[in-house]
Amino acid sequence: MAKETVKKHSEFEEIVENPDVLAERLAQSEDFVKKNKSKLLGVFAAIAALIVGGFLYYNYRTTQNQEAQDALFQAVYYFEADSMSKALNGDGQYDGLLKIADDYSGTDAGNLANFYAGVALLKEGKFAEAQDHLEDFKSDDFLMQARAYSLVGDALLEQGKNKEAADMYKKAADHNANQYFSPQYLMKAGIAYEAGNDFKAAAEVYDKIIKDFVASAEVADAKKYKARAEMLAGGSN
């Protein structure tokens, strides 16, 4: 390292003390620039394009998200007023949840529109469509995401897909498991298993509530349901 430093220092002194050396170095630099001018300009243009493109995209996304938020406000108003048709399809002046989710996909508001649309479609009895929208919803909020998994389970159960529904309820229960919501989701999983006549799996789910969530309000029912499921499982063998 010391030798390299000395070498660089000597080169610097030579350039400063000998104008011919400096001129030669400048000539070399100019020659390099001339030979590679098109390449260098291409690189600089590409960098500039990336910066400008990123800036424009950021502004576009910000504008899109604001527009979606404004549109979502009215749709959620109809949703909370239990006017599902207007919430989903709009009122002629404002867009509904379905259009917001489609037109503003990739924005936070568009993502949230999928959640509301899924719930509204469940209430409308359109279970396959509800499943699609709820599966498109993604959230970093553990409770919201777990709730979405559970609602997908509801949509599947209504379609007679009992095993798939039970799997989604268990996924909801395991998503940042907690003493309040997880037992509720596990109870729903047990019921879904029973709907599919898988009483052994149902008993195992109820047992998980009893052992892992001892302070939950669901424990008493889980004990009764477990006993019944075990009896039915024994009778089906």
Domain at 171, CATH number: 1.25.40.10
In whole angstroms, what is the distance from residue 103 CA to residue 210 CA? 46
Query: Which of the residues in the chain have pLDDT under 70?
Result: 1-64, 235-237
Asked whether residue 235 is domain-assigned, the answer is yes
- Kindly report the CA angle at 70 between 61 and 76, in degrees rounded to 5? 120
Asked whether residue 2 is domain-assigned, the answer is no
Asked whether residue 203 is domain-assigned, the answer is yes
Under 8 Å CB-to-CB from 225, ≥6 apart: which residues? 187, 190, 202, 206
The CA-atom distances, in angstroms, between 61 and each of 49, 67, 157 are 18, 10, 37
207: how many CB neighbours lie within 10 A of its CB? 17
Structurally, how many domains does the chain consist of? 1
Which pLDDT belongs to residue 65? 73
What's the predicted TM-score (pTM) here? 0.74
Which pLDDT belongs to residue 62? 59
Range of the domain at 172: 139-237
Asked whether residue 58 is domain-assigned, the answer is no
Asked whether residue 111 is domain-assigned, the answer is no
In whole angstroms, what is the distance from residue 162 CA to residue 73 CA? 35
Which pLDDT belongs to residue 54? 42
